[in-house]
């Protein structure tokens, strides 16, 4: 019987995950289909219940369901609980187990780019679901301090508990004219952009939350947006002499970790990256490519 894996989100048509996940399944000779299930919020419960069918190996979960899905699965693991959001569900013996592979994706993307986080001060732009995974990843990697820059203080404050006792977590207004924000940008070894700002065909396609005059050589600028490959944020970083790191590696690595959980097989990373890059090039005029894509 052909198995299936679903991508639950709304919308999902823009995602390149089906392309590189299907290529990985085919490369490994696994008789399975990776399907996009466009799931409005009111249909989420029904969609997750469908995952209990015997032919479903599990699912990826993307915007806007990563938090809401937590209360609909049977066993979110400690990592998903810590982040407060899931992105991967595994159907095992009739139960729906869940985790958050975004954390692994972030860490592996930074490691591949040879970015040293231990002991660093990090400026994190945004306070959504992707930002929560970033905070947990920075804590695991041994960052010394994370300054969360967000327009809404209340959303940033909700991340404070993720820092624990071993990560100094602070807030700054997302305002280039604010002295706290400017100081955090200047001191940061790594600046991570976790919002949809700069995403092609998004509501703020031309936006860059960190002006180039606040960045400098020696910094790393990591954008979780992967379409376009050179976002306004990354372009400004390169112009200031900082090292830009795009979001495609994070997307593929989180997907590779999910692939391993569903199949028990080591993912063919070369295949996944090659197909992801090709899919990205083919859809370069299309929508999507934000930090929350599954």
How crowded is the C-beta side of 94, counted as CA atoms within 13 Å? 0
- Does 3 participate in catalysis according to the annotation? no
Peptide bond into 55 cis (omega under 30): no
Tokens 């209990």, residue located: 52
How crowded is the C-beta side of 239, counted as CA atoms within 13 Å? 13
Question: The tokens of 204 are what?
Answer: 């703020």
Which entry of 66, 82, 108, 145 is annotated as an active-site residue? 66
Peptide bond into 64 cis (omega under 30): yes
- Angle at the Cα of 22 from the Cα atoms of 78 and 281, rounded to 5 degrees: 105
Burial-class residue 192 by CB neighbours within 10 Å (0-12, 13-18, 19+).
Answer: buried
Q: CA distances (Å), 278 to each of 11, 29, 224, 257, 290, in order?
A: 21, 21, 19, 21, 17
> How many Å apart are CA 275 and CA 126, to the nearest integer?
29
- Angle at the Cα of 8 from the Cα atoms of 246 and 65, rounded to 5 degrees: 80
Active site residues: 66
């Amino acid at each position: 019987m052909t198995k299936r894996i679903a991508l639950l989100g709304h919308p999902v048509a823009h995602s390149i995950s089906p392309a590189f996940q299907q290529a990985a399944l085919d490369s490994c000779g696994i008789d399975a289909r990776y399907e996009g299930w466009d799931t409005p919020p009111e249909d989420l419960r029904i969609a997750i219940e469908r995952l209990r069918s015997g032919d479903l190996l599990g699912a990826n979960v993307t915007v806007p369901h990563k938090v809401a899905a937590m209360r609909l699965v049977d066993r979110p693991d400690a990592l998903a609980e810590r982040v407060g959001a899931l992105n991967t569900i595994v159907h095992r013996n009739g139960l729906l187990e869940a985790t958050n592979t975004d954390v692994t994706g972030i860490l592996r993307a930074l490691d591949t780019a040879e970015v040293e986080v231990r002991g660093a001060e990090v400026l994190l732009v945004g306070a959504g679901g992707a930002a929560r995974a970033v905070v947990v990843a920075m804590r695991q990697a041994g960052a010394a301090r994370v300054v969360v820059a967000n327009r809404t203080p209340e959303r940033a404050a909700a991340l404070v508990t993720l820092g624990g006792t071993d990560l100094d977590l602070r807030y700054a207004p997302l305002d280039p004219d604010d002295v706290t924000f400017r100081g955090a940008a200047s001191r940061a070894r790594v600046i991570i952009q976790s919002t949809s700002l700069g995403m092609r065909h998004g509501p703020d396609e031309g936006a860059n939350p960190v002006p180039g005059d606040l960045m400098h050589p020696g910094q790393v600028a990591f954008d979780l947006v992967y379409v376009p490959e050179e976002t306004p944020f990354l372009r400004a970083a390169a112009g200031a002499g900082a090292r830009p790191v795009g979001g495609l590696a994070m997307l593929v690595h989180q997907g590779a970790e999910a692939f391993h959980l569903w199949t028990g097989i080591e993912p063919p990373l070369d295949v996944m990256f090659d197909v992801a890059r090709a899919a990205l090039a083919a859809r370069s005029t299309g929508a999507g490519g934000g930090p929350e894509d599954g």
